[in-house]
């Protein structure tokens, strides 16, 4: 345990903020206290003393007795303003805001260098799984070839309950929202955006490659049906929403798609809101980290671990990124290192053939038509998937085979 006292200004007291409050109150030996909490809604009843709260962000940002800002609000652009101001004031920041981090990584990296402050964010990917610090520290010299996993608790919870409990998609999505797993806008979860933000962060810490969210393809489970789940089940497979990032020659392939996962994979047996990250290295070989990926206390515990790390002045070293930068200060456009032109085998369920017009289908291995459902198993040019991905009206369900 470090010896520095931490006085925290907290932004947000939603699911994760309250989780942090609870785990901090039950932690032993950590010299950290929450001094003030900034929230938006003046009418909401809170479970702790009203004196903790302020509605004015400047009241926290201008205090000089705080040495850490913990940002846990869900508006990514407002979060960015808070984090930018705090870092420019020379204060270290802990956040779990994967959207903000993914959308603004270059600037956030530069703010760390310019102000010599820490920005740490273990809770932003994999919930309670300590993956970012492991990629940074444990695998700092390991030649990693692949990082992939179940990174969204909401998707995994929905898929699990649809399969194991025969429940309806919209009913279990509501339960995921009520349990505090889903984002306020659950489209971010089900359409694969949340998985993509986390995959982007893991790609930085695993490979030192910085991408923009638009560089990474994501489709989700928003159109999954029981037929798809049954198709997988009958073949001994399970549908899992995965973020994948791996080396392909001297380039990388990075994308987020539902996948058919077979029984031999450890990812096959990860259920409900649990997440799992599989890391593969040249010498360590395959290792899988499993843990709760969403929810108040699991995410709160990852945030607490970051706060604890600040008591000994921890910062990410960004060793792989620095190596890739080779002395340059400016982060290069990582998209040029990404491979887009390759063939990927997909299961595609559709209503009418026109929906597939924008896809470059290279070959069809299986085709099924009936009154209720049509699907193909086809090899498709990956690049052409960008033409159709996440159009809310396309109603396709796409799954990597
Ligand atoms: N909505 C996210 C999930 C929360 O379901 O995984 C944790 O990042």
Q: Is the CB of 281 within 6 Å of ligand 1?
A: no
Burial of residue 373 (number of CB atoms within 10 Å: 0-12, 13-18, 19+): middle
User: Which tens digit of pLDDT belongs to each residue from 73-120?
Assistant: 999 999 999 999 999 999 999 999 999 999 999 999 999 999 999 999
Q: Assess contact for 189 and 183: CB atoms under 8 A.
A: yes
Q: Which pLDDT does position 4 carry in this prediction?
A: 86
What is the rounded distance in angstroms from the CA atom of residue 100 to the CA atom of residue 198? 11
Q: Whose Cα sits closest to atom 1 in ligand 1?
A: 182
The position carrying tokens 């638009």 is 214
**Best mutation site among 74, 95, 127 for ligand 1, i.e. most ligand atoms within 8 A of its Cβ?**
127
The helix (H) or strand (E) run that includes residue 189 is helix 187-190
Q: Which pLDDT does position 142 carry in this prediction?
A: 82
**Best mutation site among 126, 195, 294 for ligand 1, i.e. most ligand atoms within 8 A of its Cβ?**
294
Q: Is the CB of 241 within 6 Å of ligand 1?
A: no
SS3 for 259?
A: strand
Q: Is the CB of 12 within 6 Å of ligand 1?
A: no
* Per-position DSSP letters for 7-66, written without gaps between them: EEEEE--SHHHHHHHHHHHH-SS--EEEEEEE-S-SSS--SS-GGGEES-HHHHHT-SS-
Q: Is the CB of 181 within 6 Å of ligand 1?
A: yes
Q: Which residues pair with 375 in a beta bridge?
A: 349, 368
Q: Is the dihedral of CA 39, 40, 45, 49 positive or negative?
A: positive
| Vertex 138 angle, CA 134 and 142, to 5° | 115
- The residue ranges of the chain whose pLDDT is under 50 are none
Select which of 198, 240, 292, 320 is catalytic: 198
Q: Whose Cα sits closest to atom 7 in ligand 1?
A: 294
Q: Which pLDDT does position 328 carry in this prediction?
A: 85
Q: Is the CB of 183 within 6 Å of ligand 1?
A: yes
CA torsion, ordered 82, 105, 77, 223, to nearest 10 deg? -140
Q: Which residues pair with 345 in a beta bridge?
A: 379
Looking at the chain, the domain(s) classified CATH 3.30.360.10 span 142-294+332-400
Task: State the fold for domain 6-133+297-325.
Answer: Rossmann fold (3.40.50)
Ligand 1: distance of its center to the CA of 356 in Å?
Answer: 31
SS3 for 368?
A: strand
Q: DSSP character for 308?
A: H
Q: Is the CB of 74 within 6 Å of ligand 1?
A: no
Ligand 1: distance of its center to the CA of 270 in Å?
Answer: 15
Q: Into which CATH architecture does domain 142-294+332-400 fall?
A: 2-Layer Sandwich (3.30)
What is the rounded distance in angstroms from the CA atom of residue 169 to the CA atom of residue 177? 12
Ligand 1: distance of its center to the CA of 201 in Å?
Answer: 14
Q: Which pLDDT does position 2 carry in this prediction?
A: 59
Q: DSSP character for 135?
A: I
Q: Is the CB of 294 within 6 Å of ligand 1?
A: yes
**Best mutation site among 183, 190, 300 for ligand 1, i.e. most ligand atoms within 8 A of its Cβ?**
183
Looking at the chain, the domain(s) classified CATH 3.40.50.720 span 6-133+297-325
Q: Whose Cα sits closest to atom 8 in ligand 1?
A: 294
- Residue 351: CB atoms within 10 A of its CB come to 11
Q: DSSP character for 331?
A: P
Q: Assess contact for 195 and 256: CB atoms under 8 A.
A: yes
Q: Assess contact for 374 and 368: CB atoms under 8 A.
A: yes
Q: Ligand 1, closest atom to CA 186?
A: 1
Would you call 198 a catalytic residue per the annotation?
yes
What is the rounded distance in angstroms from the CA atom of residue 401 to the CA atom of residue 380? 11
Ligand 1: distance of its center to the CA of 153 in Å?
Answer: 5
Q: Assess contact for 280 and 145: CB atoms under 8 A.
A: yes
What is the rounded distance in angstroms from the CA atom of residue 10 to the CA atom of residue 98? 17
Q: Assess contact for 258 and 167: CB atoms under 8 A.
A: no
SS3 for 399?
A: strand
Ligand 1: distance of its center to the CA of 363 in Å?
Answer: 36
Ligand 1: distance of its center to the CA of 352 in Å?
Answer: 33
**Best mutation site among 293, 299, 301 for ligand 1, i.e. most ligand atoms within 8 A of its Cβ?**
293
Q: Assess contact for 151 and 277: CB atoms under 8 A.
A: yes
Q: Which pLDDT does position 387 carry in this prediction?
A: 82
What is the rounded distance in angstroms from the CA atom of residue 87 to the CA atom of residue 211? 22
User: What's the Cα-to-Cα distance from 297 to each of 100, 179, 272, 342, rounded to whole Å?
Assistant: 21, 11, 16, 41
Tokens standing for 390? 């996440």
The position carrying tokens 């921890």 is 314
- CA nearest 389: which of 348, 342, 353? 348
User: Which tens digit of pLDDT belongs to each residue from 8-63?
Assistant: 999 999 999 999 999 999 999 899 999 999 999 999 999 999 999 999 999 999 99
């Amino acid at each position: 345990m470090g010896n520095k006292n931490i006085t925290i200004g907290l932004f947000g007291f939603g699911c994760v903020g309250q989780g942090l409050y609870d785990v901090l109150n039950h932690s032993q030996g950590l010299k950290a206290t929450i001094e003030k909490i900034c929230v938006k809604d003046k009418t909401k009843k809170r479970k702790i003393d009203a004196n903790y709260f302020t509605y004015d962000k400047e009241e926290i940002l201008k205090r000089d007795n705080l040495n850490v800002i913990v940002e846990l609000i869900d508006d990514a652009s407002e979060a960015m303003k808070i984090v930018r101001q705090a870092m420019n004031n020379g204060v270290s920041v802990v956040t779990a805001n994967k959207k903000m981090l993914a959308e603004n990584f270059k600037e956030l990296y530069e703010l760390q260098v310019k102000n010599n402050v820490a920005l740490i964010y273990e809770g932003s990917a994999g919930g309670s799984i300590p993956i970012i610090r492991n990629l940074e520290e444990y695998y700092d010299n390991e030649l990693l070839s692949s990082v992939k996993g179940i990174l969204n608790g909401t998707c995994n919870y929905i898929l699990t309950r649809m399969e194991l409990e025969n429940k309806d998609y919209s009913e279990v999505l509501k339960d995921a929202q009520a349990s505090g797993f889903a984002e306020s806008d659950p489209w971010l979860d089900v359409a694969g955006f949340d998985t993509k933000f986390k995959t982007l962060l893991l790609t930085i810490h695993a490979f030192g490659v910085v991408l923009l969210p638009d560089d990474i393809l994501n489709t989700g489970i928003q159109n999954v049906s029981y037929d798809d789940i049954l198709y997988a089940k009958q073949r001994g497979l399970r549908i899992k929403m995965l973020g994948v990032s791996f080396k392909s020659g001297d380039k990388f392939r990075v994308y987020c798609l539902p996948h058919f996962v077979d029984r031999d994979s450890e990812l096959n047996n990860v259920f409900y809101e649990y997440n799992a990250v599989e890391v593969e290295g040249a010498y360590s070989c395959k290792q899988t980290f499993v843990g709760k990926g969403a929810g108040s206390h699991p995410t709160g515990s990852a945030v607490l671990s970051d706060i604890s790390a600040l008591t000994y002045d921890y910062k990410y070293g960004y060793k792989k990124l620095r190596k890739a930068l080779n002395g340059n200060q400016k982060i290069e456009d990582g998209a040029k290192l990404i491979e887009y032109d390759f063939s990927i085998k997909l299961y595609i369920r559709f209503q009418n053939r026109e929906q597939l017009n924008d896809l470059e289908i290279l070959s069809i291995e299986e085709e099924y038509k009936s009154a209720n459902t049509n699907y193909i198993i086809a090899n498709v040019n990956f690049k052409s998937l960008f033409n159709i991905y996440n159009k809310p009206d396309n109603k396709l369900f796409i799954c990597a085979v």
